[in-house]
């Protein structure tokens, strides 16, 4: 039976080649040094096209080099040529009803095409010539040139086939002039949704598979369901593709001659490793984070991560359904559908299919993870924290374990609960503790040393999340960052119109250089002091009092040290602070308070001789609006 099939194919080929016009030699048995007729470029042919299929009546000839092959069956009925073997400027497509044309027109062979009598058209962005057929509505389309007519139009050169050097480009560098030419694109891989799939669905004329690069740019790989490699599984890795460029609509697509055109043996983006024999593939957390594109996205890929748990569920500073995990590439918060029993240092394998990536209050989570997605849990060791300085960019370390040395709490005697600040006397970082944490009502450590924490987000600002007080190693003595100075606010006047005044007093027995001191206010008690600031300068002597005013204030007749329209433009619901080197040293006002000091003059009691970072109304005496009788004196 097999011999009968082989003989049948041979007979068909002989019959096909026999049906020729004796005017020209059969392409398979002869060659042309140069086909007669006026030569024309691909670009000039394309310029002939109007808006509809047309018959070429002039005796014109184009020449080019074959770049496609139907040997594996992935090309059928289309022959693709480009105008030169390398650095091609244009390409063209010829539709023909000829099987096994690779035997006549191998890749790299130079051919001549006589255009007279062919039809020229453009379909889905691709120019092509060939025969013609009439659509149901009466319009014409370019069709396959009958086999009996092929020899009248296509002639092979006597030159030997040459190597075709594809044009190398990235996905976003592709242009229409490259259509029907051989191109090479590096850094591509099969998209996750097409992994473990065959090149094409059997019997389909064409199956689209998606290739993408590490920047998320995509291009279609078009394969025939009749190709010899149709059933082979798409490659797992990242690498280079050589293919004929096509276009359908506004999207480019690639067609390979055979699987040798793919060299996808490199590491995939993000280090993910696929295996179609397993239920899931290993991915890095950095890869998972890269899936997030700015909006909530479901994870449809069959992947899992292997990571170490950082958070301490028993201390309660992380919500009971959440666990912060980290691998060698990144960290992330995992949110389960119910409470878990994961402890710090546990090494877990976690299946992610069906979960979602979502940002909540500025922090990226993997949400809706069923507990049964935990593949395995083994006791392990916490990773070494990343050593950072207080001025480093915390965003780059989101949900990772970090360490900062030579720090102390800015304010002593307060509880951990809420936001506290650690400082090295120059820079500062906020530390957040949930009210529900087991240690939230403990007093902050009064020493100096190292702090370890998880980089988190609170109120859209990066901060450290303490797991428990053991994250602090404050064995050194507390440092007086202010150098023993006690500069303080001693009068606040919120008078009529622009009559706004602030008085500052040096309660020490030494001269104080005010370089690094800043007077600032917030807006309506929002505790944001970054917008309205007034740096101070000069030297203030022991016992000296300085008065600062709104530029349009007019009821105080004494000496004015400086004016500022923004900082001294407060109303009765704005807070005022005095800072040194970025640290708050004195404060007057109530957060989000409603007119706590409208139309009032507040004068600090003379027995109060030190500033206070927390406003205490018992330290102040209240006087009517526009009473400036105490300004400039104490």
The CATH number of residue 357's host domain is 2.40.50.200
**262-266/297-298 β-pairing:** unpaired
Q: How far apart are the first and last CA of the chain?
A: 117
Coil, strand or helix at 324:
strand
**Which residue do the tokens 């899936």 mark?**
291
Q: Do 105 and 37 fall within a single domain?
A: yes
Rounding to the nearest 10 degrees, give the CA dihedral for residues 73, 79, 80, 81: 130
Tokens of 37: 């007729």
Tokens of 376: 């395995």
* Residue count of the chain: 634
Tokens of 459: 């109120």
Q: Do 433 and 561 fall within a single domain?
A: no
Which strand (E) or helix (H) includes residue 8? helix 2-18
Q: Is 274 part of any domain? A: no
Q: Do 289 and 337 fall within a single domain?
A: yes
Q: Which of 455, 476, 497 is the last residue of a domain?
A: 476
**What are the tens digits of pLDDT across the range 74-114?**
999 999 999 999 999 999 999 999 999 999 999 999 999 99
Q: What is the pLDDT of residue 485?
A: 60
Q: Do 47 and 120 fall within a single domain?
A: yes
pTM for this predicted structure: 0.48
Q: Which of 428, 456, 476 is the last residue of a domain?
A: 476
Phi, psi of 260 (to 5 degrees): -65, -15
Look at residues 284, 289, 339, 343 and name the one whose alpha carbon lies nearest to residue 311: 343
Q: What is the pLDDT of residue 329?
A: 93
Percent of the chain with pLDDT over 90: 72
Mean pLDDT for the chain?
89
Contact criterion met (CB below 8 Å) for 211 and 263: no
CA distance 259 to 239: 13
Give me the domain span that covers residue 428.
386-476
Tokens of 528: 């944001």
Give Cα separations from 352 to 68, 273, 301, 476 (angstroms).
Answer: 42, 15, 8, 44
| Per-residue pLDDT band at 414 (split at 50, 70, 90) | confident
Contact criterion met (CB below 8 Å) for 545 and 504: yes
Tokens of 44: 């000039």
Lowest mean pLDDT among 233-247, 468-482, 495-509, 613-627: 468-482
Q: Tell me the H-state helices in 226-267.
A: none
Q: What is the mean pLDDT of residues 373-387?
A: 91
Q: Which of 476, 511, 528 is the last residue of a domain?
A: 476
Q: What is the pLDDT of residue 281?
A: 59
Q: Is 629 part of any domain? A: no
Coil, strand or helix at 145:
strand
**Which residue do the tokens 């992610």 mark?**
352
Q: Do 182 and 142 fall within a single domain?
A: no
pLDDT exceeds 90 at position 253: yes
Q: Is 162 part of any domain? A: no
Lowest mean pLDDT among 282-286, 307-311, 539-543: 282-286
Beta strands in 459-598 (DSSP E): 461-465, 472-476, 487-494, 500-506, 512-513, 517-521, 532-535, 539-540, 545-549, 562-563, 576-580, 583-588
**Which residue do the tokens 């201390």 mark?**
315
236-264 burial by CB neighbour count: b if 16+ within 10 A, else e?
A: bebbbbbbbbbbeeeebbbbbbebebbbb
> How many domains is the chain built from?
5
Q: What is the pLDDT of residue 28?
A: 44
CA distance 137 to 128: 21
**What are the tens digits of pLDDT across the range 415-432?**
899 999 999 988 899 999
pLDDT exceeds 50 at position 4: no
Phi, psi of 283 (to 5 degrees): -130, 155
pLDDT exceeds 60 at position 612: yes
Q: Do 237 and 286 fall within a single domain?
A: no
Contact criterion met (CB below 8 Å) for 574 and 602: no
Lowest mean pLDDT among 187-191, 273-277, 467-471: 273-277
Q: Do 468 and 492 fall within a single domain?
A: no
Return the higher-pLDDT residue of 26 and 457: 457
Q: What is the pLDDT of residue 375?
A: 87
Return the higher-pLDDT residue of 115 and 8: 115
Q: What is the mean pLDDT of residues 182-211?
A: 91
Contact criterion met (CB below 8 Å) for 70 and 101: yes
In this structure, is the dihedral angle defined by the CA atoms of residues 619, 448, 331 and 427, taken in order, positive or negative?
A: positive
In this structure, is the dihedral angle defined by the CA atoms of residues 117, 105, 177 and 234, taken in order, positive or negative?
A: positive
| Per-residue pLDDT band at 1 (split at 50, 70, 90) | very low
* CA 465 and chain centroid, separation: 25
Lowest mean pLDDT among 21-30, 264-273, 329-338, 398-407: 21-30
| Per-residue pLDDT band at 36 (split at 50, 70, 90) | low
Give Cα separations from 52 to 30, 121, 140, 142 (angstroms).
Answer: 36, 7, 8, 10
| Per-residue pLDDT band at 626 (split at 50, 70, 90) | very high
Q: Do 310 and 367 fall within a single domain?
A: yes
pLDDT exceeds 90 at position 157: yes
Q: Do 203 and 146 fall within a single domain?
A: no
Q: Is 632 part of any domain? A: no
Give the angle subtended at the CA of 210 by the CAs of 204 and 211, to the nearest 5°.
Answer: 135
Q: 120 Cβ partners below 8 Å, 6+ apart?
A: 45, 48, 49, 53, 54, 55, 56, 127, 128, 129, 142
Lowest mean pLDDT among 30-39, 361-370, 518-527, 574-583: 30-39
**What are the tens digits of pLDDT across the range 117-152?**
999 999 888 889 999 888 888 889 898 999 999 999
Q: Is 555 part of any domain? A: yes
Tell me, what CATH number does 456's domain have? 2.40.50
Q: What is the mean pLDDT of residues 563-577?
A: 94
Q: Do 94 and 141 fall within a single domain?
A: yes
Q: What is the pLDDT of residue 15?
A: 32
Coil, strand or helix at 360:
strand
Q: If DSSP states are collapsed to H, E and C, what string results for 396-441?
A: HHCCCEEEEEEEEECCCCCECCEEEEEECCCCEEEEEECCCCCCCC
Q: Do 456 and 330 fall within a single domain?
A: no
CA distance 361 to 344: 24
Q: Is 137 part of any domain? A: yes
Q: What letter would DSSP give residue 34?
A: S
Helix, strand, coil share of the chain (percent; to 5): 10, 40, 50
């Amino acid at each position: 039976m097999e011999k009968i099939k082989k003989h049948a194919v041979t007979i068909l080929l002989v019959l096909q080649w026999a049906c020729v016009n004796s005017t020209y030699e059969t392409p398979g048995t002869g060659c042309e040094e140069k086909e007669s007729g006026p030569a024309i470029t691909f670009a000039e042919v394309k310029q002939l096209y109007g808006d509809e299929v047309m018959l070429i009546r002039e005796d014109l000839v184009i020449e080019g080099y074959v770049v496609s092959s139907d040997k594996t069956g992935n090309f059928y009925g289309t022959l693709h040529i480009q105008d030169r073997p390398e650095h091609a400027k244009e390409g063209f497509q010829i539709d023909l009803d000829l099987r096994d044309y690779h035997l006549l027109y191998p890749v790299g062979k130079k051919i001549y095409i006589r255009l007279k009598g062919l039809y020229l058209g453009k379909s889905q962005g691709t120019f092509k010539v060939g025969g013609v057929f009439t659509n149901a509505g009466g319009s014409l389309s370019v069709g396959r040139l009958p086999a009996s007519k092929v020899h009248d139009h296509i002639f092979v050169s006597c030159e030997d086939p040459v190597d075709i050097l594809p044009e190398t480009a990235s996905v976003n560098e592709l242009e229409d002039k490259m259509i029907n030419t051989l191109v090479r694109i590096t850094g591509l891989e099969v998209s996750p949704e097409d992994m473990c799939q065959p090149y094409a669905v059997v019997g389909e004329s064409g199956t689209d598979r998606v290739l993408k690069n590490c920047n998320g740019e995509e291009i279609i790989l078009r394969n025939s369901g009749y190709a010899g490699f149709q059933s082979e599984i798409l490659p797992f890795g990242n690498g280079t593709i050589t293919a004929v460029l096509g276009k359908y609509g506004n999207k480019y697509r690639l067609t390979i001659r055979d699987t040798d055109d793919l060299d996808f043996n490199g590491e995939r983006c993000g280090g993910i490793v696929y295996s179609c024999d397993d239920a899931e593939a290993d991915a890095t957390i950095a890869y998972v984070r890269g899936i997030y594109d700015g909006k909530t996205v479901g994870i449809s890929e069959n992947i899992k991560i292997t990571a170490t748990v950082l958070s301490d569920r028993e201390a309660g500073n992380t919500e009971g359904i959440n666990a912060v995990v980290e691998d060698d590439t990144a960290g992330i918060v995992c949110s389960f559908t119910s409470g878990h029993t994961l402890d710090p240092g546990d090494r877990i394998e976690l299946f992610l299919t069906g979960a979602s990536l979502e940002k909540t209050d500025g922090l990226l989570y993997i949400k809706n993870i069923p507990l049964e997605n935990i593949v395995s849990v083994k006791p392990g060791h916490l990773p070494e924290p990343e050593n950072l300085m207080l001025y480093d960019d915390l965003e780059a370390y989101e949900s990772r374990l970090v360490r900062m040395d030579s720090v102390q709490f800015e304010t002593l005697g307060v509880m951990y609960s809420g936001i506290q600040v650690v400082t090295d006397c120059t820079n500062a970082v906020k530390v957040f503790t949930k009210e529900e944490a087991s240690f939230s009502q403990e007093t902050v450590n009064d020493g100096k040393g190292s702090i370890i924490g998880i980089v988190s987000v609170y109120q859209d600002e990066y901060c450290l999340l303490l797991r428990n007080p053991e994250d602090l190693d404050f064995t050194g003595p507390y440092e007086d960052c202010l150098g023993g100075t006690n500069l303080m606010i001693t009068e606040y006047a919120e008078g009529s119109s622009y009559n706004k005044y602030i008085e500052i007093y040096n309660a020490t027995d030494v001269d104080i250089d005010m370089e690094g001191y800043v007077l600032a206010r917030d807006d309506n008690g929002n505790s944001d002091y970054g917008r309205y600031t007034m740096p101070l300068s000069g030297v203030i002597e022991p016992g000296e009092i300085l008065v600062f005013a709104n530029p349009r204030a007019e009821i105080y007749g004494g000496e004015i040290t400086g004016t500022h329209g923004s900082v001294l433009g407060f109303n009765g619901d704005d807070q005022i602070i005095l800072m040194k080197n970025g640290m708050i040293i004195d404060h007057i006002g109530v957060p989000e308070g409603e007119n706590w000091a409208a139309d009032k003059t507040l004068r600090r009691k003379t027995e109060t001789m030190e500033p206070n970072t927390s406003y205490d109304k018992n330290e102040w005496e209240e006087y009517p609006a526009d009473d400036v009788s105490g300004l400039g004196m104490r």
